[in-house]
Amino acid sequence: MNTRPHSLFTSRTVGEQPTRHGGNGNGVTLLIKEPANCDSEGQQAGTVRTLVAMPAYNEEAYIAKTIVGAQQHADAVLVVDDGSKDDTVRIAGALGALVVQHETNKGYGGALQTIFCTARDLGAEELVIIDSDGQHNPGDIPRLLAELRKGNDVVIGSRFIDDSNAEIPAYRKVGMKILDTATTIAGTNLTITDSQSGFRAYGRKAIEAIRISDEGMSAGSEILILISDHRLNVAEVPIRVRYDIEGTSSENPVSHGIEVLMNIVRLISLRRPLVFFGIPGLVFTLFGLGAELHTFSEYYRTAEFHYVLFTGGFSMLILGLLLVAVGMILYSLVQIILQGQESAGRVASDSSPIVTFLHAEGSEVAEERAPHPVEGVPE
């Protein structure tokens, strides 16, 4: 099923006016100088039921096969080109995909931001995100969609179900488990086996709820945190991922994993300051007190004063108390911010106008409460 959503994009001005091209007339390219501001976009009537989207960066070798495979299971295929220097955009446009092109490389998280913004613009009911480098099999898309249509809000393609992880290198398994644990500590209450899977399907409720802020590879973990915050229903289905394809990553997997872990740690510090700062602070405080007590007990028993032990213990005591104080202050600030966001959300929900969507003939088809200002709705 082909779609031609050109009219949907004409209401969107991000960085500069849209530029369309494509030999068959189906390709659309938007040059974006800054990340799209989803909050200022108007809501679209349901135009695309199933949208398959993929971030792409210099993927000319494999993207054609991925697009053709995805088109068999979708109403439209979206390619977010993240500043490629090869023929990725030309190939995607020639195959009839919708193409959103970043003028500069914004990273995996930046590409996901654009995907979710565009999915909301298109009124997509189902969004499947798949890698464009050939590692994911588009033939697994129906499996994710079938589980999504059972009433789940998010479906994750897992590499650790039904022995589907046999081909994963051992060092990758260890790294993934570490990242899974860090993601759980960051604030997810989800019971999942593969937090780093990039093959996922989202329903309409999840598409509207997920607003990503991170532009790095840890955006996948941030999405899980948002899923947990909004209490969305999550399921997993087994998938197989190919690791025999050369050139699927321009980064060393070890340094890449460390970078993702550091970003997740940053999320933990922002979301759970009492855990991140308070627990280490409490440990330092206890060790410091212990060192001080031992120093004075030894002084009274032997009349010898251990200056090194006293100085070290006093330093740990001060550091521990500072960390505990920082954790408590940040926790209070986070709670104030969250309460403010909840209050603002309730006010926006109560005051948002009713918008009636019309057919071309002028007949009314649906009434919906618009989450954005009326002037953001395209005429």
pLDDT-derived band of residue 299, with 50, 70 and 90 as boundaries? confident
252 and 333 share one domain: no
Instruction: Check whether residue 243 and residue 289 sit in a common domain.
Output: no
Distance CA 25, CA 109 (A): 29
DSSP-derived secondary structure for 315-374: HHHHHHHHHHHHHHHHHHHHHHHHHHHHHHHHHHHHHPPEEEEE-TT--EEEEEE-SS-G
Name the domain boundary from 240, 271, 302.
271
Q: Would you say residue 152 lies in a domain?
A: yes
Assess contact for 106 and 35: CB atoms under 8 A: yes
Instruction: Check whether 2 has a pLDDT greater than 70.
Output: no
Indicate whether 166 and 32 sit together in one domain.
yes
pLDDT greater than 60 at residue 311: yes
Question: Is residue 366 domain-resident?
Answer: no
Closest to 215 in 3D by CA, of 85, 337, 83: 83
**9, 42, 39: which is closest to 375 by C-alpha?**
42
Return the CATH number at 64. Answer: 3.90.550.10
Q: How far is CA 263 from CA 90, 171, 221, 365, in A?
A: 33, 20, 9, 45
N-terminal to C-terminal alpha carbon distance within the chain? 25
In a domain, 78, yes or no: yes
Question: Residues 12, 97: one domain?
Answer: yes
Which of helix, strand or coil describes residue 208?
Answer: helix
Q: Do 321 and 345 share a domain, yes or no?
A: yes
Residue type at 146 in one-letter notation: A
Mean pLDDT, to the nearest integer, of 257-283?
A: 78
Regarding whether 97 and 214 lie in a shared domain, the answer is yes
Q: Which residue has the tokens 């070890």?
A: 254
Q: Could you tell me which of 32, 18, 35, 20 has the C-alpha nearest to residue 93?
A: 20
Instruction: Report the b/e string of 233-271 with b at 16+ CB within 10 A.
Output: ebbbbbbbbeeeeeebeeeeeeeebeebbebbeebbbeb
Report residue 93's pLDDT band, with 50, 70 and 90 as the boundaries: very high
Express each pLDDT in 130-150 by its tens digit.
999 888 999 999 999 999 999
Residue 373 within any structural domain of the chain: no
Same domain for 301 and 228: no
The residue among 220, 244, 271 that closes a domain is: 271
Residues 331-370 pLDDT 10s: 888 778 767 766 665 554 454 433 333 333 444 444 444 3
**Counted domains in the chain:** 2
Structural domain includes residue 372: no
The residue from 220, 254, 271 where one domain ends is 271
Task: Grade residue 316 by pLDDT with cuts at 50, 70 and 90.
Answer: very high
pLDDT at 230: 87
Q: Is residue 264 located within the same domain as residue 280?
A: no
Nearby residues of 106 by Cβ (< 8 Å), 6 or more positions away: 35, 82, 83, 113, 215
Rounded Cα distance between 41 and 120, Å, is 9
Indicate the SS3 state at residue 238: strand
Task: Tell me, yes or no, whether 248 and 278 share the same domain.
Answer: no
- Residue range(s) defining the domain that contains residue 344: 273-354
Question: Is 1 within the bounds of a domain?
Answer: no
One domain for residues 77 and 212: yes
Crossing angle between the packed helical segments 307-351 and 279-302, to the nearest 10 degrees: 160
Both 38 and 187 in a single domain?
yes
Tell me the range of 181-190, 217-226, 321-330 where mean pLDDT is highest.
Answer: 321-330
Assigned domain for 359 exists = no
pLDDT: is 191 or 188 the higher one? 191
Segment 266-289 mean pLDDT = 84
